[in-house]
């Protein structure tokens, strides 16, 4: 009789531990919630992705190198003749994007609304010339004020700016 009670108690404790782990806010949100709560993307996940881009993508990186890092789930961007920078092709990766999200701006325009609302965690735009990275930009939120950062690497010239809601920009520290 005492063995049954001990087995029952052990089983109950194990189930309780599993439920606490699964239903803790961090674990639950990360794996199970696909509602707007999940779309408030965790800043640390976005910043890790941004750091991965900055550390691994260089001017001159090949398409194969970039695709091996980030996959083939990019948008082939039609710049509609707006970008006169010598690039032959453009790709856009959107990370941590709300399912079925459709931006209200063309793909070659920074989706400030989507990023500020959390529907897009980060946007990584690449310009290709001769099958090599010629330029890239990253747009994402960071900091206690959830500033919209715009990081660019254009032919080796790096800039990091904060895009203010009024349309002005300031240099990031």
Would you place residue 86 in the very low, low, confident or very high pLDDT band (cuts 50, 70, 90)? Answer: confident
What are φ and ψ of residue 101, in 5° steps?
-70, 135
Question: How long a stretch of residues is the chain?
Answer: 173
Q: What is the DSSP string of 19-71?
A: HHHHHSHHHHHHHT--SHHHHS--HHHHHHHHHHHHHH--TT-BHHHHHHHH-
Query: pTM higher than 0.95, yes or no?
Result: no
How confident is the model at residue 136, as a pLDDT?
Answer: 97
Alpha helices (H) along 71-119:
112-117
- Measured distance CA(80)–CA(83) in Å, rounded: 8
Q: How do residues 112-168 score in pLDDT, each as one tens digit? A: 999 999 999 999 999 999 999 999 999 999 988 889 999 999 988 999 999 888 878
CA 42, CA 149: separation in Å to the nearest integer?
A: 16
pLDDT digits (tens, 9 = 90+) for 38-54: 434 478 899 999 999 99
């Amino acid at each position: 009789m005492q063995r049954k009670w001990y087995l029952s108690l052990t089983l109950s404790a194990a189930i309780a531990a599993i439920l606490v782990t699964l239903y803790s806010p961090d674990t639950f949100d990360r794996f199970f919630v696909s509602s707007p709560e999940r779309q408030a993307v965790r800043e640390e996940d976005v910043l890790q992705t941004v750091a991965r881009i900055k550390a691994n993508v260089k001017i001159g990186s090949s398409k194969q190198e970039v695709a091996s890092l980030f996959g083939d789930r990019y948008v082939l961007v039609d710049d509609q003749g707006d970008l006169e920078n010598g690039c032959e092709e453009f790709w856009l990766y959107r990370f941590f994007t709300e399912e079925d999200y459709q931006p209200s701006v063309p793909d070659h325009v920074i989706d400030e609304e989507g990023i500020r609302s959390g529907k897009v965690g980060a946007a990584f735009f690449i310009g290709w010339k001769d099958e090599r990275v010629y330029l890239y930009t990253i747009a994402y939120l960071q900091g206690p004020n959830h500033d919209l950062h715009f990081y660019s690497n254009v032919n080796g010239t790096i800039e990091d700016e904060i895009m203010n809601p009024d349309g002005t920009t300031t240099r990031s520290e």
